[in-house]
Amino acid sequence: MTENKTVILDGAMGTMLQGRGLRAGEKPELFALTNPQAVEEIQRDYVRSGSRILYSNTFGANRRKLESSVYSVSAVIKANIDIARKAASAVPGTKVALDIGPIGELLSPLGTLSFDEAYDIFKEMVTSGQDAGADLVVFETFTDLQEARAALLAAKENTNLPVWVTMSFEKDGCTFTGTTVPCMAVTLQGLGADAIGINCSLGPEEIFPLIKEMSQWTDLPLIAKPNAGLPDPATGSYFITPDEFAAAMEPFLELGVHAAGGCCGTSPAFIRALSEKAAGSGIEKKPGARRNGVCSSSTMAEYGSTHLIGERINPTGKKMLRQALLDHDMDYIMKIAIQQADAGADILDINVGIPNIDEAALMKEVVQAVQSVVRLPLMIDSSKAEAIEAGLRYANGKAIINSVNAEDSKLEEILPIARKYGAAVVGLAMDRKLPSTVEERLAHARKITECAVKAGIDRADIIIDCLTLTVSAQQDQAPLTLEALRRVRQEMGLHATLGVSNIAYGLPDKSHVTEAFLNLALYNGLDFPIINVNNQGVMDTVTSFRALSGEDKGCKSYIERFAKQQTVVQKPEKHSDSESISLDEAIIKGLGHEAEKATEKLLESMDAMDVVNDRLIPALDKVGDLYEKHVIFLPQLINAANAAGRGFDIIKKRLPKNCDASKGKIIIATVEGDIHDIGKNIVKVVLENYGYDVIDLGKDVPVQTVVERTVKENARLVALSALMTTTVESMKRTIEALRQSGHDCKVMVGGAVLTKEYARQIGADFYTKDPKESADTARRVLGE
């Protein structure tokens, strides 16, 4: 790959095969077995036209797509690689790339395919390709960065072949799943791709600005394989001529792309024209400083400005979060993530450290849950190497590791993981003991930097934490932290982070000292502050700083924030008008704030459990009754349930610790294979607000998981949901498995295609047609 000319790739295969008898719906990959001559002729044609790397005809040769075929994945791949090899032999030095496209199903959380399954599918393909003698692996036409990550990891961990990855973008610079060009470039370079680029979807003219953008974000060789322009929407056919195509490819050659070819609609004639055009051009890629940062698949936090790291997903000192982690209550954690994103976090810290748990497994679960609802880059925060690795493996994009320190054992353990996944890394300026001087901090920072660079980590990806020590206990340290921070930024040119909130520990009204310290730290160059973004004062400070530093161009954010706050201030007056509203009325009207107020008022004169039984539940019953009589409709029912829930939360806080207000446990799940969970979630909200302890297993829940959790929680009632006729079958299997387990429980089912009769046939105890009926059923089974 050190030639100084653009390497010419091949053009389309599918359309060429159709010209040689491939019928619609027939798998092109199998043509190698039924009609090897045709495939070889096409590829020979490409070699004659100037292709020096042939992509094997294996785009969809994965186990999912070959499921109905009699041939194994390895047999199909071997046959196709052999043919490409034969065709390549016409011109010595012509290489054969194992070509792999996306699996064809979306990964969870959108689809049902897990990251690990995807990895496994790719692993089978790349090992088959290596065994068959491929010279390199090319993943192309990917639209989901997470799938590309699974593919790249599978190739890197199981073969020693060079790996290229090209993705398909729309005109707006995003793939269908929202991956942007900078996020793709930074993530895949970090993860060890040997070359990256763009193929398919658009023609050369539309792709050029995108590949140009990509060149700013990576120093890897670039690949471009555009379509023959844009197709006619009704027929799918392309119009531009080979010469027009080659002319449109000229800017790519000038940019210095490493490899170029064609995708849909191109043919050997296109490749010949391109090859002739490329013959005269030489690659002159000017090395320049590349843009860099940390990212999710769609959001880039580019180095050079201040990025706020939300600190709230960390169980230290947070009882509710700790319990949620123990219960695998991902909704609670997702809520915290969304709140922080809405409050203005740019990056989310994720720490799930609780003694005696499988931290790696929990990290994987939380990372996946969080990135299913927010699109921010993540900071994987743990003291355990396995948990860090688990977090990085599943975090889509390029994450930050929090943290290493200057201890040799720590550096040796963590830096290779950072290198493998291409993560940025926080280095704590300490070793076994805390530093007490500026010089000590800087010495640690230097050591960490030296080791990291030696381990192959880009200097730009190092973030030093000069350590915030509590001012009430170690008052002399605050100025030293700030001075070290300033020097880390100015003299060493590294990024800096601080856990800002630590400063105020043990002091009353923490906000003042926290905000003052944050101000000083920002002034000294702190670019990755770890803060409580939900705290208004902290965010006011950051907003003001960004206006003063010039980061907030035209003070736009400042104006937006403070103009908004002025209007918010007026809100409480509105509430005070309705303060006298009764709990009953507040619930029926679905007014959460008023329900809280009314509950508090009642608690002044009533016992907590009495408020539940004599006020809350009867109000909910009335709501259910109104819903049944069609006096109110669904959103009103849910608003009412939510209002009751807010009242219930107030009561829970007042109850003595040993008093359990729960009316019993209910396991709820959308069955295996089904991903429609809105109905299930409605029922969940209603049941919770009736005071039941609802354990939500989510959607697409394996039969065995339902059984295991039901038995483990000793739940007496299981609620199952399925929306499709195709998935009612797995509802039936779930019920059968529950019965076979011997665990004594009732099963209620719901979902659009179910009927009372159908529910009986599949062995359910109850059919519930709406949330009201599910609450009635819960009462019948679990009692009041």
Q: Does 630 participate in binding other proteins (rule CB under 8 A)?
A: yes
CB 183 to other proteins: min, Å: 15
DSSP assignment letter at 23: P
- Neighbour count for residue 507 (Cβ, 10 Å): 14
Q: Does 239 participate in binding other proteins (rule CB under 8 A)?
A: no
Burial label for 496, CB within 10 Å (0-12, 13-18, 19+), is: buried
555-592 burial code (b ≥16 CB/10 A, e <16):
bebbeebeeeeeeeeeeeeeeeeeeebebbebbbbbbb
Q: Does 375 participate in binding other proteins (rule CB under 8 A)?
A: yes
Distance CA 62, CA 456 (A): 34
User: Which of 727, 734, 768, 774 touches other proteins (CB under 8 A)?
Assistant: 727
Look at residues 257, 264, 274, 179 and name the one whose alpha carbon lies nearest to residue 212: 257
Q: Kindly tell me which of 480 and 723 has the beta carbon lying closer to other proteins.
A: 723
Which helix (H) or strand (E) element contains residue 347? strand 347-350
CA distances to 24, 165, 654 from 586, in Å: 61, 57, 20
- Residues in 318-337 at the binding interface with other proteins, rule: CB under 8 A: 331, 334-335
Q: Does 373 participate in binding other proteins (rule CB under 8 A)?
A: yes
Q: Kindly tell me which of 326 and 678 has the beta carbon lying closer to other proteins.
A: 678
User: Which of 88, 321, 363, 591 touches other proteins (CB under 8 A)?
Assistant: 591
Which distant-in-sequence residues (6+ apart) come within 8 Å of 776 by Cβ?
A: 624, 768
Q: Kindly tell me which of 413 and 736 has the beta carbon lying closer to other proteins.
A: 736
CB 178 to other proteins: min, Å: 6
CB 23 to other proteins: min, Å: 8
CB 776 to other proteins: min, Å: 18
Q: Does 176 participate in binding other proteins (rule CB under 8 A)?
A: yes
Q: Does 202 participate in binding other proteins (rule CB under 8 A)?
A: no
Q: Kindly tell me which of 331 and 408 has the beta carbon lying closer to other proteins.
A: 331
User: Could you give the 3-state DSSP secondary structure of residue 95?
Assistant: strand
Q: Does 141 participate in binding other proteins (rule CB under 8 A)?
A: yes
Distance CA 200, CA 130 (A): 25
Distance CA 652, CA 486 (A): 47
Q: Does 343 participate in binding other proteins (rule CB under 8 A)?
A: no
Q: Does 372 participate in binding other proteins (rule CB under 8 A)?
A: yes
Count of residues interacting with other proteins (CB under 8 A): 66
Q: Does 236 participate in binding other proteins (rule CB under 8 A)?
A: yes
- Neighbour count for residue 376 (Cβ, 10 Å): 24
Q: Does 678 participate in binding other proteins (rule CB under 8 A)?
A: yes
Q: Are 500 and 539 in contact (CB under 8 A)?
A: no
CB 581 to other proteins: min, Å: 13
Dihedral pair phi/psi, residue 741, rounded to 5° = -65, -15
Look at residues 774, 584, 567, 761 and name the one whose alpha carbon lies nearest to residue 666: 774
User: Could you give the 3-state DSSP secondary structure of residue 97?
Assistant: strand
Q: Does 433 participate in binding other proteins (rule CB under 8 A)?
A: no
Q: Kindly tell me which of 231 and 664 has the beta carbon lying closer to other proteins.
A: 231
State yes or no: cis peptide before 233, omega within 30 of 0.
no
The pattern of x and - marking residues 105 through 134 that bind other proteins according to CB under 8 A reads xx--xxxxx---------------------
- Neighbour count for residue 610 (Cβ, 10 Å): 13
Q: Does 636 participate in binding other proteins (rule CB under 8 A)?
A: yes
User: Which of 320, 412, 752, 761 touches other proteins (CB under 8 A)?
Assistant: 752
Q: Kindly tell me which of 547 and 643 has the beta carbon lying closer to other proteins.
A: 643
CA distances to 87, 200, 696, 730, 779 from 706, in Å: 53, 42, 10, 12, 21
User: Which of 89, 725, 760, 780 touches other proteins (CB under 8 A)?
Assistant: 725
Q: Does 633 participate in binding other proteins (rule CB under 8 A)?
A: yes
Stretch binding other proteins (CB under 8 A), from 231-239, 353-361, 422-430, 578-586: 231-239
Stretch binding other proteins (CB under 8 A), from 23-31, 450-458, 554-562, 607-615: 23-31
User: Could you give the 3-state DSSP secondary structure of residue 153?
Assistant: helix
Q: Kindly tell me which of 403 and 670 has the beta carbon lying closer to other proteins.
A: 670
Q: Are 647 and 596 in contact (CB under 8 A)?
A: yes
Q: Does 780 participate in binding other proteins (rule CB under 8 A)?
A: no
- 499, two tokens: 């856990």
Query: Contact residues for other proteins (CB under 8 A)?
Result: 23-25, 102, 104-106, 109-113, 141, 143, 168, 175-178, 200-201, 233-236, 331, 334-335, 338, 372-375, 589-591, 630-636, 638-639, 641-642, 673-678, 681-682, 685, 724-727, 730, 752-755, 769
